[in-house]
Protein backbone atom coordinates (compact mmCIF):
# COMPACT_ATOMS: atom_id res chain seq x y z
CA UNK A 1 0.00 0.00 0.00
CA UNK A 2 1.33 3.42 -0.88
CA UNK A 3 0.06 4.92 2.37
CA UNK A 4 1.70 2.18 4.41
CA UNK A 5 4.33 3.61 6.78
CA UNK A 6 7.91 2.51 5.93
CA UNK A 7 8.35 0.76 9.29
CA UNK A 8 5.31 -1.42 8.45
CA UNK A 9 6.18 -2.04 4.78
CA UNK A 10 9.68 -3.23 5.72
CA UNK A 11 8.11 -6.41 7.14
CA UNK A 12 6.39 -7.35 3.86
CA UNK A 13 7.72 -10.73 2.82
CA UNK A 14 9.12 -11.55 6.25
CA UNK A 15 8.70 -15.14 7.43
CA UNK A 16 9.12 -16.57 10.94
CA UNK A 17 7.63 -19.52 12.83
CA UNK A 18 4.36 -18.92 14.68
CA UNK A 19 6.13 -19.44 18.02
CA UNK A 20 8.89 -16.90 17.24
CA UNK A 21 9.31 -14.86 20.45
CA UNK A 22 9.80 -11.56 18.60
CA UNK A 23 6.26 -11.64 17.23
CA UNK A 24 5.49 -9.76 20.47
CA UNK A 25 7.31 -6.84 18.84
CA UNK A 26 6.69 -7.34 15.11
CA UNK A 27 3.13 -8.71 14.87
CA UNK A 28 0.45 -6.24 13.75
CA UNK A 29 -1.01 -3.89 14.65
CA UNK A 30 2.12 -1.75 14.50
CA UNK A 31 0.28 1.49 15.15
CA UNK A 32 -3.08 3.21 15.05
CA UNK A 33 -5.02 2.30 11.91
CA UNK A 34 -2.53 -0.42 10.93
CA UNK A 35 -3.89 -2.70 8.19
CA UNK A 36 -0.97 -5.16 8.21
CA UNK A 37 -1.82 -8.84 8.59
CA UNK A 38 -0.16 -12.13 9.41
CA UNK A 39 -0.83 -15.10 7.15
CA UNK A 40 -0.14 -18.68 8.19
CA UNK A 41 1.71 -20.82 5.65
CA UNK A 42 3.10 -24.34 5.66
CA UNK A 43 6.77 -25.05 6.36
CA UNK A 44 7.08 -26.35 2.79
CA UNK A 45 5.71 -23.13 1.31
CA UNK A 46 7.93 -21.03 3.61
CA UNK A 47 11.00 -22.97 2.50
CA UNK A 48 10.10 -22.49 -1.18
CA UNK A 49 9.49 -18.77 -0.71
CA UNK A 50 12.82 -18.35 1.08
CA UNK A 51 14.70 -20.35 -1.56
CA UNK A 52 13.18 -18.32 -4.41
CA UNK A 53 13.89 -14.97 -2.73
CA UNK A 54 10.18 -14.18 -2.57
CA UNK A 55 10.52 -13.83 1.21
CA UNK A 56 13.18 -13.25 3.86
CA UNK A 57 13.79 -14.96 7.20
CA UNK A 58 12.92 -12.62 10.07
CA UNK A 59 14.65 -14.93 12.56
CA UNK A 60 17.98 -14.01 10.92
CA UNK A 61 17.33 -10.31 11.36
CA UNK A 62 14.69 -7.72 10.64
CA UNK A 63 15.28 -4.85 8.21
CA UNK A 64 16.50 -1.61 9.73
CA UNK A 65 13.71 0.71 10.83
CA UNK A 66 11.08 -2.00 11.04
CA UNK A 67 8.71 -2.30 13.98
CA UNK A 68 5.87 -0.58 15.73
CA UNK A 69 5.21 3.13 15.43
CA UNK A 70 7.04 5.26 17.94
CA UNK A 71 5.10 5.51 21.23
CA UNK A 72 2.89 2.53 20.23
CA UNK A 73 2.53 0.34 23.30
CA UNK A 74 0.71 -2.95 23.73
CA UNK A 75 0.90 -5.62 26.42
CA UNK A 76 3.50 -8.36 25.98
CA UNK A 77 2.01 -11.49 24.43
CA UNK A 78 -1.21 -9.68 23.41
CA UNK A 79 -1.44 -11.45 20.02
CA UNK A 80 -1.40 -14.94 21.57
CA UNK A 81 -4.69 -14.07 23.26
CA UNK A 82 -6.56 -13.41 20.00
Inter-CA distances, 56 with 13, 47, 51, 61, Å: 6, 10, 9, 9
Closest CA to 68 of 18, 44, 32: 32
What 3-state class would DSSP assign to 79?
helix
pLDDT at position 1 is 46
- Max CA-CA distance within the chain? 37
The pLDDT profile of the chain, 82 residues, written as one tens digit per residue, is 457 888 888 888 999 999 999 888 888 888 888 888 999 999 999 999 999 999 999 999 888 888 888 877 665 554 544 4
In terms of phi and psi (left: phi > 0; alpha: psi -120 to 50; beta: otherwise), the region of 13 is left
pLDDT at position 44 is 97
Amino acid sequence: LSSEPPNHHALSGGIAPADWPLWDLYAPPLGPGCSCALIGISATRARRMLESGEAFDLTKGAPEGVGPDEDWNRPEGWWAKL
